[in-house]
Amino acid sequence: MTLLQKTVSPRLSRAYLDEGYDRVGGYVVRVADVRFATSLTDLAAVHGLTAPGSGWTPQSEWVDVLRFEADWYLRYFGEPGYAVPLWWLMHTRVPPGAQLVRRYAAGGSELLARYGHLGTGWRRADPTAAAPTMTRLSQCVGAVASWNGAHYDADVVDNRVVIATSTPQPPQMGFWPGATGRWYRQLHPAEAADVFGVEVRATWRGMAVHVADQVLAGNRQVARIVPAGDDVEEARARGMTMLDVDVAEAWVLLDELDDLCSERLDAQPPGAVGPPDTADALPVPGLDASAPPNNSARQPGRSGACSRQAEAASGPGGAADAAADVSAWPAAARREPGDPPRTETSDTDAEAPGEQPA
């Protein structure tokens, strides 16, 4: 399996460790391609940490790196012309088994936390540190499984399907309490009627975006959106909040979105899961290095045209009927506010990751 990594800003690192933030996106590289990057200066060069917003300076004593295996539902497109092969990873849930590692300027590294799966969430390496309360699940991103007539957020771990919900379940349903705010159950693959990914797309002020969350805030339907491509400057110019040098988001009224639709992402064929684990120069076979910034090129494993149905908007953790037309889905699939309050202090006055608008 291909091992990928990306650096994360101090702000995102705190969000992972303290707030249960469970998303990842932006520029990624293969670990095999950057083994030469043993110093923080090398890491900065490989990951572009000299750009504004990275939180890194030549005087930094450490850099945090998120490492994870390429999973079947992740989607990428190539970025040609860099010193090492580089990909843009579209916003998604953190894959199971991911590790947050701190690399020190003085040498050496330290494991900070491990993300088991969506049921257990982040677990700190320090046994005396409390595990964070996980944010509520969103069926707008990541994998989904169909079981017992409903859809659940899911991960596939060691040939088992793990389904989870943010809603307490009766004991007879077979769910176990996991991370604070999560309940999960493990299924044999044959028990899951279907396992697939979901992507909800829209246009905001003429910019292609992905919908990462939907909530009911007071009497307003609001959505958290992220860029569908890698044009960070466009996102910045449109007033989106920069969470990292390559991570942007915005909370907007649902009515501001045009062309709202969902798309089912089927499992990719063998050999197409993630960037190949080789040091070949771009373009890498199996990936479209010429894909435009809005990623309009069809990626391997995507099925058909954009569906007008919300494929994964149901289940105890999300709540809407899977057959609902997407025009009716936002009201039906809303997730009640209840994420833990964001008390993080950051280098800017912008919202913390996942923070809802006032």
Q: Give this prediction's pTM.
A: 0.75
User: Which pLDDT value is given to residue 229?
Assistant: 87
Measured CA to CA, the distance from residue 311 to residue 130 in angstroms comes to 36
Distances (CA, A) of 357 to 182, 223, 329, 330, 354: 24, 10, 21, 17, 9
**Residue 282: is its pLDDT beyond 60?**
no
pLDDT in tens, 164-174: 999 998 889 99
User: Which pLDDT value is given to residue 202?
Assistant: 96
In the chain, the N- to C-terminal Cα span, in Å, equals: 42
Q: Could you state, in order of their start, the residue ranges of all structural domains in the chain?
A: 3-124
Burial of 266 from C-beta contacts in 10 A (0-12 / 13-18 / 19+): middle
pLDDT mean across residues, the chain = 76
> DSSP letters of 17-39?
HHH---EEEEEEEEGGGGTT--S
Question: Which helix (H) or strand (E) is 63 found in, with range?
Answer: strand 62-69
Q: Which residues contact 274 (CB under 8 A, 6 or more apart)?
A: 1, 2, 4, 69, 70, 71, 74, 76
From 259, 262, 252, select the one nearest 223 (Cα to Cα): 252
Q: Which residues contact 327 (CB under 8 A, 6 or more apart)?
A: 260, 308
User: Which pLDDT value is given to residue 53?
Assistant: 67
- Name beta bridge partners: 263: 199
Q: What SS3 class is residue 326?
A: coil
Q: Dihedrals φ, ψ of 113, to 5°?
A: -165, 160
Which of 130-144, 265-279, 311-325 is the least confident region?
Answer: 311-325
Give the chain's length.
Answer: 358
Q: What is the mean predicted confidence (pLDDT) over 308-331?
A: 27
**Residue 157: is its pLDDT beyond 60?**
yes
Q: How far is CA 208 from the centre of its chain?
A: 17
pLDDT band at 310 (very low <50, low <70, confident <90, very high): very low
User: Which pLDDT value is given to residue 275?
Assistant: 59
Q: Which residues contact 358 (CB under 8 A, 6 or more apart)?
A: none
> DSSP letters of 41-59?
HHHHHHHTTTSTTS---TT
**Residue 119: is its pLDDT beyond 50?**
yes
pLDDT in tens, 36-61: 988 898 888 888 887 766 778 889 99
Cβ atoms of 262 and 201 within 8 Å: the answer is: yes
The tally of CA atoms less than 13 A away on the side-chain side of residue 310 is 29
